[in-house]
Structures are given as structure tokens and as C-alpha cells.
């Protein structure tokens, strides 16, 4: 049974001093415990909106971003990406919610299993790659951050992002492939972070996805949040479905299982509610993940036609508003080059509007050796969207 709980997730981090942990990264955070967002890139029309909500304490994020840049000074310039603004006529009194979805590439898999034949092992060195990952997060400053293939949650991401104002939870895969590799840092899994300043946690659950009533190795996290400003409820899920071709039916079954559980959670949240407004307006839903499925697969169609009323945010980049981007991951393995669209941010079109979408770099920007590389830490590109509530309870 899903219940609304007032839960504080605060798992102590394991800080190492051998150069593999986040000890150096803490130097920019040593004097303070709470953080605020760095200013985001936006046109003049949207700058007015940001000015209504000035950053309370951006220094720690800025200092850590500069520390990342210093650690990466010998690496080539990072990929330049711009936002495509979809809604410039929205309510400037309402602050948008920035959501980032990203498969960050588990360190153990990148070094020991994935076989990126055009990526030098030196480019995957964790002592620098962690700075590339953090730099990407700090650059876009999401309010909600959904990650997959996280195998450095306790010693890096949780403690560092907690000091920047994020609350989080982590759900490892029961039989993570990382555990079978040398020098692993434990199991990989999904992690969900959100800004404590923006949201209050009302409840959460960790799911082990099932197929034909049998548990699989894939997981999901579902959190119910309440916006501190508007008091609007928001349900957020992050997942990572089964990889590789030949497993389409399993992904389809996992998707149906997740959709069924999301329906139950949303209905229960709406039924219990915290006030009459939640019951009347419904609960918006965001589902982020690496689905390992092209738009032609059944699991994509299941989400697109679900009774939950979901739509894919990144279709906003297409001319007709109906086409997904040509790729969200691009890599070269011994079996050849693969360029696929596998990652999505699904949203409740009845309750949320897409205000901005981060564009993908071109093939020329990515380069002939594809991903990962010296200037990008993962084989998957991050997805970043700005959302706003269509209707405010106020």
C-alpha cells in the first residue's frame, strides 16, 4: 500500500582520502551546508521570471563549478548545447521546474564491460570523469534530477549534492552487473534528487519491476513531492529498463508493470490527498528514464497511449511535434556503431506544459569517436526540460 509519509532521506556518505572519493570536491563546500542554484541560460523574456526568484546562496555551486573547470583544464571544451524555448507567453509569476534525465554510465561498466573501442581508458578515469558529470549537473542546475547507472551514490553524488541543497534516494539493481567486475564500487542503480528549497517529500517507494509476475533486475523509484510555493503535488518516477536487442517483450512487460503501479500510486495520492485541491485537480506525473527502447517498440506505445495521459517532452523539438530526436545515445562498440533514441521524459500533458527543451549536439560536435569521450562522460546525452503547472491550486 502506498502511503503519504513525511520522510527525510539522509544517508551518510563514505568519504575516501585516496583520491578516488569526493574529498577534494568538498573543498568548495567546507564552510557551508545549504546551496542554491546557479543562474540558468535563458532569453530576456525568461530572465524576468528568474528575477522574481533570486538565488539565495549561489556561491557554493559556483565555487564547485569552478573547481570542476580547474580539474578539467587539460580536457577539450565541452559540448555546447542551447535551449529551445517553447512557451514564452507563460505566467511569469510561476517559476518553472527544471528536470534532468541522464544515464551517467556506471564507472565499473564503462571501464570493464561496455567496450567503447574508440574511447581511451584514460578518458574514463574516475578521478576526472566525476568532475565532468558534476559539471554537467551544475551547468543546468535541475530542480529534479533523475539518474541511471549510478554506482558512486554514497561516496560522491549523495554527499556532494546534499550540501548543495538536494534531498535524494537511491535504489540499486538486485543483481547489478557491476558486482561481477573488478574494482567495482558496489551495485549500480537509479537515483532521484530534488531541491529541498523547492519541494517537500510526501512519500516515496522503491520498485523492483516484474514481468509475468516474476521480479526482474530492473528497478524504479517513485516520489510524491509537494511544491513549497504553489502547494501543488507532483509525482516523479525514474527507471532503467532492460538493455539490448532481443529483450523487447521483457521491456514491454516491465513498462506495463510500471504503468500499473504508477496508476495505483497516483490514484491513492489523489484519494488521500492533503487537501481538497489535490483531489479536484489531480496529480501531475513525470516519468524519466533510460527505456532502452526506440519509439517503434511496444513499451514506447504503451506510455504514449496510457490512460495516465502522458506525452514525451522531447517531441517538442520536432517540426511536427510528433517525432522524437534522432538520438539520445551514440557509441562505438566492437559490434559496430549504434545511434539510438532510448531516453525519455514523459509528462502529464493535462497538468504540465513544456516551456523549454535542451537541444542535442550535432554529429560534428560529438566527433567521429562518438561517446563517451574526453569532453563528455557518458554514452548517453542528458535530457533537460523546463515545465510549469498548467493550473495552480492557488
Q: Residue 388 above 50 pLDDT? A: yes
Question: What pLDDT, on the 0 to 100 scale, is given for residue 207?
Answer: 98
Exposed/middle/buried for 393, CB within 10 Å: 0-12, 13-18, 19+?
middle
* Residues in a beta bridge with 220: 207, 239
Between 275 and 66, name the one with better pLDDT: 66
CA–CA separation, 303 and 274 (whole Å):
28
- Kindly report whether the global pTM for this prediction surpasses the value 0.95: no
Calculate the average pLDDT of the chain: 86
Per-residue CA distances from 241 to 21, 104, 219, 248, 390 (Å): 29, 15, 8, 10, 30
250-265 residue pLDDT tens: 999 999 999 999 999 9
E strand or H helix at 267: helix 248-272
Exposed/middle/buried for 175, CB within 10 Å: 0-12, 13-18, 19+?
exposed
7-58 residue pLDDT tens: 333 333 333 333 444 555 655 554 333 333 344 444 444 444 344 334 445 6
Question: Which DSSP state fits 136?
Answer: H
276-332 residue pLDDT tens: 555 566 799 999 999 999 999 999 999 999 999 999 999 999 999 999 999 999 999
Between 73 and 390, name the one with better pLDDT: 73
Question: What pLDDT, on the 0 to 100 scale, is given for residue 230?
Answer: 87
Using a pLDDT cut of 70, give the percent of the chain over it: 80
68-99 residue pLDDT tens: 999 999 999 999 999 999 877 655 556 899 99
Among residues 310, 300, 375, 384, the alpha carbon closest in space to that of 342 is found at: 300
Question: What pLDDT, on the 0 to 100 scale, is given for residue 213?
Answer: 87
* Residues in a beta bridge with 345: 288
142-169 residue pLDDT tens: 999 999 999 999 999 999 999 999 999 9
Question: What pLDDT, on the 0 to 100 scale, is given for residue 20?
Answer: 44
Per-residue CA distances from 381 to 58, 81, 203, 311 (Å): 26, 11, 29, 20
Question: What pLDDT, on the 0 to 100 scale, is given for residue 25?
Answer: 62
Residue range 94-108: mean pLDDT, rounded: 95
SS3 210: strand
Which domains does the chain possess? 55-389 (3.60.10.10)
Q: CB of 348 within 8 A of CB of 309?
A: yes
Amino acid at each position: 500500500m502506498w502511503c503519504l509519509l513525511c520522510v527525510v532521506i539522509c544517508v551518510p556518505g563514505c568519504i575516501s582520502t585516496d583520491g578516488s572519493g569526493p574529498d577534494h570536491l568538498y573543498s568548495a563546500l567546507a564552510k557551508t551546508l545549504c546551496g542554491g542554484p546557479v543562474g540558468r541560460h535563458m532569453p530576456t523574456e525568461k530572465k524576468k521570471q528568474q528575477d522574481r526568484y533570486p538565488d539565495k546562496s549561489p556561491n557554493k555551486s559556483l565555487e564547485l563549478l569552478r573547481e570542476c573547470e580547474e580539474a578539467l583544464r587539460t580536457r577539450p571544451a565541452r559540448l555546447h548545447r542551447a535551449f529551445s524555448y517553447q512557451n514564452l507567453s507563460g505566467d511569469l509569476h510561476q517559476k518553472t521546474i527544471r528536470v534532468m534525465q541522464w544515464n551517467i554510465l556506471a564507472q565499473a561498466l564503462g571501464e570493464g564491460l561496455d567496450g567503447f573501442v574508440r574511447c581511451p581508458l584514460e578518458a574514463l578515469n574516475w578521478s576526472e570523469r566525476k568532475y565532468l558529470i558534476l559539471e554537467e549537473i551544475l551547468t543546468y542546475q535541475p530542480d529534479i534530477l533523475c539518474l541511471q547507472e549510478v554506482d558512486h551514490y554514497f561516496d560522491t553524488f549523495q554527499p556532494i549534492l546534499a550540501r548543495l541543497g538536494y534531498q535524494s534516494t537511491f535504489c540499486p539493481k538486485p543483481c547489478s552487473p557491476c558486482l561481477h567486475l573488478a574494482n567495482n564500487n558496489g551495485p549500480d542503480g537509479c537515483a532521484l534528487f530534488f531541491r529541498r528549497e523547492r519541494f517537500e517529500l510526501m512519500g516515496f517507494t522503491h520498485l523492483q519491476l516484474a514481468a509475468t509476475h516474476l521480479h526482474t533486475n530492473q528497478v524504479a523509484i517513485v516520489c510524491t513531492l509537494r511544491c513549497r510555493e504553489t502547494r501543488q503535488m507532483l509525482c516523479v518516477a525514474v527507471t532503467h529498463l532492460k538493455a539490448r536487442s532481443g529483450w523487447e517483450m521483457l521491456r514491454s512487460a516491465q513498462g506495463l508493470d510500471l504503468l500499473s503501479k504508477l496508476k495505483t500510486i497516483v490514484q491513492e495520492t489523489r484519494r488521500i490527498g492533503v487537501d481538497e485541491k489535490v483531489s479536484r485537480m489531480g496529480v501531475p506525473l513525470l516519468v524519466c528514464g533510460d527505456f532502452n527502447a526506440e519509439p517503434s517498440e511496444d513499451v514506447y506505445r504503451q506510455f504514449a497511449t496510457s490512460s495516465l495521459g502522458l506525452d514525451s517532452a522531447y517531441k517538442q523539438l520536432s517540426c511536427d511535434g510528433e517525432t522524437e530526436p534522432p538520438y539520445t545515445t551514440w557509441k562505438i562498440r566492437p559490434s559496430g556503431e549504434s545511434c539510438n533514441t532510448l531516453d525519455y521524459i514523459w509528462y502529464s500533458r493535462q497538468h504540465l506544459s513544456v516551456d523549454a527543451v535542451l537541444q542535442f549536439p550535432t554529429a560534428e560536435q560529438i566527433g567521429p569517436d562518438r561517446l563517451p569521450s574526453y569532453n563528455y562522460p557518458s554514452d548517453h546525452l542528458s535530457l533537460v526540460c523546463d515545465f510549469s503547472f498548467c493550473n495552480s491550486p492557488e
